[in-house]
Structure 1
Amino acid sequence: MPRVLVLCLLAILSVSPLARAATGADIEAPFDAGGFEPAEIRVLQAALAASGDYAGVLDGRWSDDGAAALDVWSAREFGAAPLAGHAAAAVAGFLDAARDDGWREVPLADLGLALALPLARLSQPVDEAGGTRQWTTDGSFAVLTHRFDRADATAWHDTAASLAAGRIETRRGPDRLVTTGTLADGRAFFTRSDLIAGAWATVYLTAEPSAEGALRLAAASLHAGRPEGFDLPADGRLARLVDSAARLVQAATPAPAGQVATPARFDAEITALPPSGDGDADGAEAVGGTGTAFYVGPQLLLTAAHVVAGCTTPSLADGTPLETVAADEGLDVAVLRAPRQAPHWLAFAEGRMRLGQRVYAIGFPYYSIAGTSLTLTGGNVSALAGIDDDARYFSFSAPVQPGNSGGPLLDARGRVLGLVVARLSEDYIVEATGSLPQNVNYALREAELDTFLSRAGIAAETGGLGRFDPDDGVPDGVEDAIVPIVCH
């Protein structure tokens, strides 16, 4: 079982007696850096930098900065103070992502530096005056390298500082210059110049918000000398903790006799919709349940197949009937057609999904029971596959409820990364481990949605709302693009 599943299920560790029975290492103990070798601490620092929580250097020495970063990571992912198992989860997820993206420390021979880069995602370097430039294939991360004299290096950093529109930090020394900040378009940047062999070796990194973890990891790895890598000592305590956590997941996953450990679909909720005026003898329509759908074109909506399964007439909340154009119950996706055009729709995400990237679930949970307003919750991509390593799905931690089914999962640019379909069966995990899973939810990948539409002879419309940052609030028009669906 891939170790990324540790990120989905390790929350059971703090309360599960199965953890003590299934493992020899004390993964439930409070985290104590004293028992780790410098090489292990360095990998943990790399994991916390890649998650966006650590801004120090990868020096293998545990510091207050590292402890604060682990505190933030554990609180966000598990809602608790750091345990040894939390460190194992962070490292396991990082090692998986490092393999997927080809993270390697490479020598910058002309500069006398070494730097970690996601080689599997980088385009070929392009020469430019005095150096080179490389972009990731999705354009979210870039690295530039140059050799300057002192005057040009100083001018470079002064220019970088003048372009900062948000936070800015500068450090100036006799043999090192560092400038970090945020540009007007929201990208973070980091630039550092080191005096090496009489020249100023300069590295400039920039990243969109979704790739800031990549920037932090690359910046933290930058050092003079030879590459060190991210290999865990095979007989070290951290490697044993990672293996113990993986064995725990394997022990907790098999279903009891006669059961299958599959995700529990979101059951459509019976809702208290106001009378339409044309209902039954009591003045109310017969309603089976509600879910969420979103427009991918002026008249086409996507939702989960189980939201409209068995409906005599699926409709919008105002009673407008919808036509089911195509459905795939195996994937749990359906496309509907509305009789009138919507003014706004959503665009699909582009580029490769990243483990740990920020995501947002947006929809109508418990529609009309808890209210009728659109709701948004945030979380992270917590695993790059679904149950049984099903690559058509991925796991995320944004809280969702019945009624979110069929809604979009947005990335940090407001684009559709997936369609919310399921959550981990709480009853099964409680029976297997004695603990409740928290925010282990599943979405169908954007690529599967695109393939489904293509098989149905439908092309998602270009245009739509375009990019937006949900952290800054959703723009006008989103309420037109994401709508509640009623099953009659």
Structure 2
Amino acid sequence: MALHRAHRTALAVGLALAGPWPLESAPALAQAPPGYAEAESRFAFMETERRVRVQTLLTAAGYWTGMPNVTFGRRLFEAIAQFQGENGFRPTGWLDGTQLARLRVLATQKLAPWGLRTIAHPLRPVAIWAPMGLGLTVERTPRGLDLKDPTRRLSLAYNYLPGATVADSYAYTVEKFQREGATLHYKVLRSDFFAIAASQDGTDIYMRYHQDGPGALGFALRWDTRATDLAAERIAVLLSASLWSAMTPDAPFIPLPEFSVPDARAVALPPVQTPLPAVPPPQAPPAVPPPSPSGGKPSGSSGTGFFVGRAGEVLTNAHVVEDCARVEVRGPLGSVLAQVVARDPANDLAILRTGLTPPKVAGLRTGIRLGEPVAAFGYPLAGMLSTSGNFTLGNVTALTGLGDNTSYLQVSAPVQPGNSGGPLLDGNGNLIGVVTAKLNALNVMKANGDIPQNVNFALKGMVAANFLDSNGVTFTPGAATAPMAPADLADHSKAMSVFVTCR
């Protein structure tokens, strides 16, 4: 008799949750599928945390049942291509900004009700994830924690077995399941862990235990097979990934998947509203046509952008050019109309085509260290501050944004409304980020009674690189290794930057 769908899924989960090695290290087929080489190359260009995050989103959306890998494989290529095919995209095996935004939507539909949070074991210094959004009650036990869904759809036992080995625990569990008439869909035993997927009396079960010093540490997740809307097999994959990452020295760190709306304490730097300064007449490029009588933002707003392509492509924030009847870019030779050729609202990025010949093009660097000096350039508070731009200095104060969002850097360089979309440079003049947001000081003061100072955020260079690459913009890798004097750095950043107006 064919397995119930949930049981078949549990079997697939068991095969994948054992670790990446059973299938990923199998000999490669002689002929790679079309597009595989390009997809592998693009994956290799991504930073490790972004590779992992994409795979956790694929898991939540129901397309990936393996441990997050830092290397690309045939299974991952096929999972991405399946997602693309089922969502109306060309199955290339790599994700552009639009596709990633769609994947986030699908993943959030599950991540939001699950409400994954880390829970620490009371006896061991190891934390795993748990779907606390399901209203789980937590009970302390002699071995650890029991978490139960009040509606009896799901339960999670997180236990430490002192004096036990994974081999003994595995043998005992298999024998017990067989004695009780459970169906074993999958079982694997290795020197440092075991994993078992089974079903019994209308319940699917997934267990994973690792050797932890003189004992075994792990969890058993059980769920009602009738609760198909819960997609608990995906929860099992993510919980197993969290334990595997915590217990395996060479495993990549797996950040907790995002599932909520952006934190209200962080606000995108708003484009500056009217009054706008008069735009000086162009000298070399053609004149800007008169404003359109209708459409777009009636009073205008402004932000910052910078050159990323030799053909005059400009990168800025998506919110700077949102709902514009027309976009103007003011560079060293005057102002021209710009065309928005790509927008990624999820990552708040946009590409403008200007036709200008850039005096400087940003050289993009994809790695950064905590504490490094940084510089920001932009056109904040247009109509109030200098029309020639503002240059500020600071440091990288955190390698993630609010909620440990790995797409962002936190910096102390002061920024204001109108800095949105401006370049964030390292001390050598390489681009490392796109200035995007700042902490909402008023909200934080109301909540905590204190005003935060210089807590600002920039999208990492890697996020920008992926966006540019997926839209066919050839960018220049950052290669500058010699520190620049602040005045030289200011000239350098100003030469690559432009004032962007939205009307």
Q: Which range, TM-score by smaller chain?
A: 0.3 to 0.5
TM-score (norm 2): 0.42
Q: Choose 1 or 2 for highest CA Rg.
A: 2
Higher relative contact order, chain-length normalized (CA < 8 Å, sep 6+)? 1
TM-score (norm 1): 0.43
